[in-house]
Structure 1
Amino acid sequence: MTHLRERHVTMIALGGVIGAGLFVGTGAGIALAGPAVLLSFTLAGALALLVMRMLGEMAADHPSGGAFSVHAEKAIGPWAGFTVGWVYWSAVGVVLAVEATGAAKIASGWLPAVPQWAWVLLFMSVLTAVNLADVRHFGEFEFWFAGLKVAAIVLFLALGVAAIVGVLPGVASPGLANLRDFLPNGWGGVVAGFMVTVFAFGGLEVVTIAAADAEDPARAIRKAVRTAMTRLLVFYLGSLAVVVTLLPWNDSQVGASPYVAVLNRIGVPAAGQVMNVVIFVALLSAVNATLYGAARMLGSLADRGEAPGALRTRSNGVPRNAVLASTAFGFFSVLLNYLWPDTVFLVLLNAVGSALLIVWAFVAVSQIRLRRATPDPAVPMWGFPYLSWVALAAIAAVVLLMLFDDQARGQILSTGVFVGAFAVVGLVRARALSRSRS
């Protein structure tokens, strides 16, 4: 069996969070908070950093393709492992289709003669083949995908800083004029921005799933956790600082696509197409990583008897049947794209709900409980138990904020029903197994 190398795991950690949400979705946060979106992202990034550290602690001591599902089972009980495993797999199955659809919409703009559904079929077929092959093939694909995204952000930061300090030819520096009205919507805007931007950090959990395929899981996860999130915070906050410094926060172009607006401002030719290429790469990377994480989670559920036995991981370490099963909704989205090419993206995106928050909550509870059994972990959580409880309280606060928000309430309630259904099945199943053994 071959393994992922340290450089693969580190770049998966970086690339897993740098997705279309950063390049496009940040516009919503800026619209809500103005320049104070920097505070919103700082809060969201701090929460994500704590969650990643908790994941890292558990993954280093208990490496598994089932990651947080296995940890929840150990810490809370079989029903919890069953619930979070199936919630995660179901949610990322939808995410997979959303990401493939997003990439197909961009490709259709370049080659309109090719229908959107054909692009989805092509992307899903190629990346399914990558995930069916040796795990190192996945690692290499994701390494270069992530490398391109990181390079794009570094270049954006360099150009943006040069424009701000006034050394970019032909571009007048605005100085700090656009930051004077830092809190245009007050602290309520910061809170609203936090509620939106926290979801931009979805995908960080893939690195702890990948750690199980590393040559030295503890060493790989230690390095990835130590370096990846701090770099990501620099990339996110640095690039956002460039956006709100160079352009007025309420500029209509910033709300639509902040990175394209900046590139247009500093005179980059064909800025929209440049960002389309970057977003396209980010989406394909996300499809690749999402499929990998989904397949490993499903294979782990099967290995523990919580999914059909035919989906178990095989001797080479690649759960091939689980890969094929995990692509099912992605390929089904080919039909959806054929029938409703203009609406499927938004419908699927809303259907994902807020499963990320549920996964993070299980992570926090699992880490708090498992730490009692592992008092000297290889990658210890900072400030335990205080920061673990802070993270759990912050997750609960996001859920409450969404319940009191008219636009987000439907999403969080539908996610609650979704999770509750799996929890009921998990509890009934656990009790039935307990009775059969007694």
Structure 2
Amino acid sequence: MQQEHKLARTLSGRHINMIALGGTIGTGLFLGAGDSIQKAGPAIVLVYIITGLFVFAMMRALGELLLSDHDQTTFIGFIKSYLGPRAGFVMGWTYWIGWIIIAMAELTAIGKYMQFWLPTTPAWLWELIFLGLLYTMNIIAVKAFGETEFWFALIKIVAIIAMIVIGIVMVVFHVRTSAGVTQLSTLWSHGLIANHGHNLLAAFQMAFFAFLGVEFVGIAASETQNPIQTIPRSINAIIMRILIFYVGALLAIMVIQPWTNYSANQSPFVQVFSKIGIPAAAGIINFVILTAAASSLNSALFTTGRMIFSLSPKTSRFAKLNKHYIPMNGITLSSGLVATAIVLNYIFPKDAFSLVTSTASATFIVIYIALMVTHVKYRQSKNYQQSDKHFKMPFAPYLNYLTILFMLMIFGILLFSSATMITTLLAISWFIVLAVISVVKYKKV
């Protein structure tokens, strides 16, 4: 039986904190850090700090918007309100398809990660099992989703804390490894910037994508029990998480052995744990990466279901909720589309699928820029003058403009880099097509 009620508010502060934390930690750190270190050297720490500060600025803008009207089901509703229905249409469906494609990539990865332990079993079997389990949890109860994300995030956190603690212990006791004695000077003894800084801009792009999905807390916000208290606390803690988990882990990695020793094609976590004599290192990190991929897939099902719910006309079956106050129809449609990854993996080569995934990532930059512009428009509106101003973004609108410039720089790096030029042009084409559709759809607006 379908209902026309508001979304359930059963997520607790514990759930939201872990969801926000999990959103800032993903395969970009566990897998991509090796490539980042190779491109920037120890300077990658500064790159992550700068990128993290701008991501934090975006989240503060999002937090202020959410608390100005916490009945909004997604932050796309604010874009629609302050930038118009056409912008809301374009950004809404872009955000939806972006998460669908990311979910397809994560589902594909899950099958491959499971084959690490069971190489003779088909990948599609594991993909079906994981998708089925996560779909079931998403349509039964919001709290079930929250609990799942809580434990997924906890696994990632334990792995990072273990890395940081190991690094501290090895420095304090000057532990000797095949790379030499562990000491702080290892961090800078081989130089502070790789390749004289020639690849430093590319490192900014990679750091930015490592934070992709941090805005997910905005989607979950509509279903928290006490948004006025929970959202500010969760968003303000993001900056500390960036410093502790990203910066702390990277420093530990580059102190245990020289940054020049790391391979761009292998997880630095695996390389470190192997070097210090943990034979099961590859298996442990494979398990952590598996949970990171499952977490991203879980978040994608949650997000895409809410996006369809908010974008659909009120008379549509996708604008209805089930008896648990969950947009089941939207989640079902999204899950069905994600499941096509199982078929696509047989038809298309790996490079083609990676191309589409990169295109989805490029579109998120435009969405983040639209979010910052939306916040500027909100500050200029009567709604801001009449609001309680619970959670004001500092230094607005100047910080908005700086953040927009930073994101335009990232987009420019993508556009003029030979490795990502095609994917960025595809993203631009996607926006042009949606813009044309929106003009036809809202021609009287």
**TMscore range, shorter length:** over 0.9
Counterpart for residue 411 of structure 2? 399
User: How far did residue 209 of structure 1 move?
Assistant: 0.8
Judge which range, 176-185 or 59-68, deviates more: 59-68
Matched, 1:318 2:326: yes
Matched, 1:159 2:166: yes
SS in 1 for 2:260: coil
User: How far did residue 36 of structure 1 move?
Assistant: 0.9
Counterpart for residue 185 of structure 2? 176
Matched, 1:134 2:134: no
SS in 1 for 2:422: helix
Letter in 2 for 1:240: L
Matched, 1:146 2:157: no
Letter in 2 for 1:410: I
Counterpart for residue 276 of structure 1? 286
Q: 1:201 to 1:127 in 2, by over 3 A?
A: same
CA contact (8 A) 1:60 1:378 kept: yes
Counterpart for residue 367 of structure 1? 375
CA contact (8 A) 2:355 2:423 kept: no
Letter in 2 for 1:217: P
Which residue among 333, 346, 358 is the counterpart of 1:350? 358
CA contact (8 A) 1:117 1:338 kept: no
CA contact (8 A) 1:31 1:255 kept: no
Q: 1:402 to 1:419 in 2, by over 3 A?
A: same
CA contact (8 A) 2:45 2:250 kept: yes
Counterpart for residue 292 of structure 1? 302
Which residue among 27, 36, 54 is the counterpart of 2:61? 54
2: CA distance between counterparts of 1:377 and 1:19? 33
CA contact (8 A) 2:221 2:231 kept: yes
User: How far did residue 164 of structure 1 move?
Assistant: 2.7
1: CA distance between counterparts of 2:164 and 2:216? 26
Which residue among 396, 412, 433 is the counterpart of 1:384? 396
2: CA distance between counterparts of 1:410 and 1:377? 43
Percent identity of the aligned residues?
30
User: How far did residue 97 of structure 1 move?
Assistant: 0.8
Kindly report which structure 2 residues correspond to 1:172-211, keeping only aligned pairs within 5 A, or say none. 172-180=181-189, 181-211=191-221
Q: 1:313 to 1:203 in 2, by over 3 A?
A: farther
User: How far did residue 248 of structure 1 move?
Assistant: 2.6
SS in 2 for 1:400: helix
Instruction: Please give the per-residue CA displacement for 1:59-87, whole angstroms capped at 9, x wherever unaligned.
Output: 12222564221111111100111111100
CA contact (8 A) 1:10 1:228 kept: no
Counterpart for residue 113 of structure 1? 120
Counterpart for residue 255 of structure 2? 245
Letter in 2 for 1:233: L
Letter in 1 for 2:200: V
Which residue among 261, 273, 294 is the counterpart of 1:263? 273
Q: 1:320 to 1:256 in 2, by over 3 A?
A: same
Letter in 1 for 2:326: V
Instruction: Please give the per-residue CA displacement for 1:305-326, whole angstroms capped at 9, x wherever unaligned.
Output: 5xx8121141643100000111
User: How far did residue 335 of structure 1 move?
Assistant: 1.3
Matched, 1:6 2:22: no
Which residue among 40, 46, 63 is the counterpart of 1:33? 40
2: CA distance between counterparts of 1:194 and 1:351? 17
2: CA distance between counterparts of 1:255 and 1:242? 19
CA contact (8 A) 1:163 1:266 kept: no
CA contact (8 A) 2:186 2:254 kept: no
SS in 2 for 1:431: coil
Which residue among 82, 85, 91 is the counterpart of 1:78? 85
Q: 1:222 to 1:396 in 2, by over 3 A?
A: same
User: How far did residue 17 of structure 1 move?
Assistant: 2.1
Counterpart for residue 5 of structure 2? none
2: CA distance between counterparts of 1:409 and 1:340? 21
TM-score by length of 1: 0.92
Count of residues paired in the alignment: 430
CA contact (8 A) 2:31 2:267 kept: yes
**RMSD of Structure 2 on Structure 1 (CA):** 2.1
2: CA distance between counterparts of 1:182 and 1:139? 41
CA contact (8 A) 1:2 1:134 kept: no
2: CA distance between counterparts of 1:177 and 1:154? 20
1: CA distance between counterparts of 2:276 and 2:380? 54
Which residue among 317, 323, 337 is the counterpart of 2:345? 337
Counterpart for residue 409 of structure 1? 421
Q: 1:418 to 1:285 in 2, by over 3 A?
A: same
Letter in 2 for 1:50: A
User: How far did residue 345 of structure 1 move?
Assistant: 5.6
User: How far did residue 166 of structure 1 move?
Assistant: 2.9
Instruction: Please give the per-residue CA displacement for 1:187-246, whole angstroms capped at 9, x wherever unaligned.
Output: 443222112211110111110110100112222111110113421332001111112222
Structure 2 unaligned runs (5+)? Answer: 1-7
2: CA distance between counterparts of 1:79 and 1:233? 38
2: CA distance between counterparts of 1:391 and 1:353? 18
TM-score by length of 2: 0.91
